[in-house]
Amino acid sequence: MDQRNFTGDYDTLLEIVKTRVSVRNLKPDPIPDDYVAKILEIGRWAMSGANGQPWDFVVVKDPAIKKELFRVYAEENNDFIYWMEQQRDFKLRHPSFQMTHDEALQKQRTSVGWSIAPVLIVVLGDGRRQWATVQGAHTFGRDQSHLTDGLANTAMMMHLAAGALGLGSQHVTIHIQEPFKRVLGVPDLLTFSLIMPIGYPAVPPKEGVRRPLADMVHYDKFDMSKYMTNEQVLQYLYALREKTVPVYSHSYTGRPPAPNGGKG
Ligand SMILES: Cc1cc2nc3c(=O)[nH]c(=O)nc-3n(C[C@H](O)[C@H](O)[C@H](O)COP(=O)(O)O)c2cc1C
């Protein structure tokens, strides 16, 4: 490989990184097969522990299979997630579960949701391949990290590739894996990590929310003035939700959430 000077490409990369956002409302219009191949090719080049490449990808285009995956998501996965969120103070709940009063948004989330996306890329993991790395990597509480980190890396690469092609993508985490495995015939031994719906965005992009760099970077030693107390973490989460609920709403409907009157 040539030792290229990539300095000039930084701005392009930054633009791709900053314009990629989660799009939770995609058009059903088909996307070229070539785009899917390009996204997968970028995913193939992700980093992984000792190059174990623990991932497999299932490209789902069959409408009946997409519909069945979404049914399982709504009826089994999200039913569990919804009820767990009820344990929290309303304003601390995950943004998607603070807008349950917004009928249009709920319809978008729960009627067909991401099942209408033209393509779903399902990211699976094979935990055995993480053993490519040193055995010690799996101690000290890191457990499955060389599997999950690898899957996150390949997913991130593919989200960026989708963004660079002018597509929108979403990252749908799967918590209760078994019913999804049955739909796709995935062996029990594998991990059903996430579903990445891909398509043309049906809502305009909106810039994301991030902590300022100065808050997260430490020089030479950990700067204790940046350490949050437990109480500050709680305040941080409340403040974060205030910023991210409108962004989530936008990603579903292209507008801020409807006023809720404190209903949850
Ligand atoms: C590990 C991980 C899990 C995520 N799970 C979900 C999910 O289940 N559903 C969803 O809509 N977005 C999910 N996301 C997307 C995040 O909500 C999103 O990246 C974050 O709010 C920042 O917004 P942005 O992607 O628009 O920049 C996930 C992202 C990551 C990295």
pLDDT by position in tens, the chain (length 264): 666 666 679 999 999 999 999 999 999 999 999 999 999 999 999 999 999 999 999 999 999 999 999 999 999 999 999 999 999 999 999 999 999 899 989 988 889 999 999 999 999 999 999 999 998 888 887 788 899 999 999 999 999 999 999 999 999 999 999 999 999 999 999 999 999 999 999 999 888 999 999 999 999 999 999 999 999 999 999 999 999 999 999 999 999 998 864 454
The closest alpha carbon to 106, from 264, 262, 236, 252, belongs to 252
Number of neighbouring beta carbons within 10 Å of residue 67: 14
Exposed (0-12), middle (13-18) or buried (19+): which is 242, by Cβ within 10 Å? exposed
Residue 262, in any domain of the structure: no
Distances (CA, A) of 139 to 128, 129, 135, 136, 148: 16, 16, 8, 5, 15
Angle at 97 between CA 92 and CA 100, to 5 degrees: 130
Q: Which residues make beta-bridge pairs with 196?
A: 121
pLDDT score at 264: 46
Mutate to test the pocket of ligand 1, among 18, 171, 237, 252 (most ligand atoms within 8 A of CB): 171
CA of 23 relative to ligand 1 center, distance in Å: 10
pLDDT score at 139: 82
pLDDT score at 183: 98
pLDDT score at 6: 66
Q: Which atom of ligand 1 is nearest to the CA of 251?
A: 26
Residue 126, in any domain of the structure: yes
Residue 259, in any domain of the structure: no
CA of 129 relative to ligand 1 center, distance in Å: 25
Pocket residues: Cβ below 6 A from ligand 1: 21-22, 24, 152, 170-173, 208
pLDDT score at 261: 45
pLDDT score at 7: 67
CA of 9 relative to ligand 1 center, distance in Å: 26
CA of 79 relative to ligand 1 center, distance in Å: 19
Residue 261, in any domain of the structure: no
Q: Please report, for the domain that includes residue 160, its CATH number.
A: 3.40.109.10
Phi, psi of 24 (to 5 degrees): -105, 15
Residue of minimum CA distance from atom 15 in ligand 1: 171
Number of neighbouring beta carbons within 10 Å of residue 112: 15
Residue 264, in any domain of the structure: no
Structural domain range at position 185: 13-253
Residue 155, in any domain of the structure: yes
Q: Domain total for the chain?
A: 1
Residue 83, in any domain of the structure: yes
Residue 6, in any domain of the structure: no
